Amino acid sequence: MSSFSRCAACKYLRRKCPQDCILAPYFPSSNPQRFACVHKIFGASNVTKMLQQVPVHLRAEAAECISYEAIARVQDPVYGCVGIITQLQQQIIQIHSEIMKIKGDIITHHSAHPQHQPLPPPQGDPCRSISIHQQEQDNFQSDEHPFGNF
Amino acid sequence: MGGSSGSSPCASCKLLRRRCSKDCVFAPYFPPHDPHKFAIVHKVFGASNLCKMLQELPVNQRGDAVSSLVYEANARVRDPVYGCVGTISYLQNQVSQLQLQLAAAQAEVLSMQMHQKPHLVEQDSDMSSLWAGDNLNSISHYIAVASNLSATVIQDPLKRESFST
């Protein structure tokens, strides 16, 4: 790549952008702020090492995720992506709680009004609901959270 | 040689092979008995970047910042492509599935209420057609009715990125 069309990384670092620049495919000059965030959080050297450790066909995804993490950390310097994870976990707990409450209400209603129990769905119904019990087993499978599970 | 304990350098100064001063930024968060914690953060973020990040934060927030950085660093070492974004995608998927289940459950409650008070259906001309004939037992219609009633918005965190073009 000529000096007139340097990638965002090489522009930011004020260096020549070689033809085999590893960062060029993932940090185009059209989005300089994206690399600025990545450089601030990870550093150009670390990002280069991280991308080199990943197979070429997965580098775009890796660069995208690294950029996302860097931007999240710039926006929230204390919690970064972990703040988003925490928010989602709390949302899961809240929705799960609502489902359990409604299930309880349904069971109570059916006990009081057995004649109002719904008919089973027709055979081969593609919209049959997922078993909530099965989802309960899968809901909280996640990595160890730095601030404990809620 | 100084350090948080007064005798041994912190894990960061040990790894970086430098004198651990009394006001070392890392010492409160990287004690000498857990060298792996600093090693992994240094590998992903670098000591210099880490130092700058901590110095930009009030002291009372640095502990939480270090914990979250350690978490992210571990996630990135475990999954070099997706890091903790993989966890975010997984949880987002869980939220979507649970919201579908919630909608189905709410639709079932609505169905129960309609059975109890069928005259309520006539008050809303838009909804009355949904309850015609055999549609009452179709879960797809339950979901359609629930979606009209509950306006839960799923905010995609991946769309929060404001720097991509």
Residue B118 has pLDDT above 50, yes or no: yes
- What rounded mean pLDDT belongs to chain A? 82
Q: Is B144:B135 a contact under the CB 8 Å cutoff? A: no
pLDDT digits (tens, 9 = 90+) for A45-62: 999 999 999 999 999 999
Helix locations, chain B, DSSP H: 11-16, 35-44, 47-55, 59-78, 85-116, 125-128, 139-149
pLDDT digits (tens, 9 = 90+) for B5-22: 456 899 999 999 999 999
Residue A131 has pLDDT above 70, yes or no: no
B7 burial (CB, 10 Å; 0-12 / 13-18 / 19+) is exposed
Residue B158 has pLDDT above 60, yes or no: no
Which residues in B lie closer than 8 A to residue A54 (C-beta atoms)? 80-81
Which residues in B lie closer than 8 A to residue A116 (C-beta atoms)? 112, 115-116
Between chains, do A71 and B163 touch, taking CB under 8 Å as contact? yes
Helix locations, chain A, DSSP H: 8-13, 32-41, 44-52, 59-75, 80-112, 132-139
pTM for the full model? Answer: 0.72
Between chains, do B65 and A33 touch, taking CB under 8 Å as contact? no
User: How far apart are the C-alpha atoms of B11 and A144, rounded to whole Å?
Assistant: 23
pLDDT at residue A120, rounded to an integer: 64
Kindly report the three-state secondary structure assignment for every residue of A110-131.
Answer: HHHCHHHCCCCCCCCCCCCCCC
Name which of A51, A79, A137 to mutate to probe chain B: the one with the most chain B Cβ atoms within 10 A of its Cβ: A79
User: How far apart are the C-alpha atoms of B16 and A28, rounded to whole Å?
Assistant: 34
User: How far apart are the C-alpha atoms of B51 and B25, rounded to whole Å?
Assistant: 7
pLDDT at residue A111, rounded to an integer: 84
| Closest by Cβ to B72, choosing from A62, A80, A99 | A80
Percent of chain B with pLDDT over 70: 66
Distance of residue A19 Cα from the nearest chain B Cα, in angstroms: 23
User: How far apart are the C-alpha atoms of A128 and A60, rounded to whole Å?
Assistant: 38
Q: What is the DSSP letter of A4?
A: G
CA angle (A134, A140, A145) in 5-degree steps? 170
Residue A99: closest C-alpha in chain B: B102
- What rounded mean pLDDT belongs to chain B? 78
Name the amino acid, one letter, at B149.
L
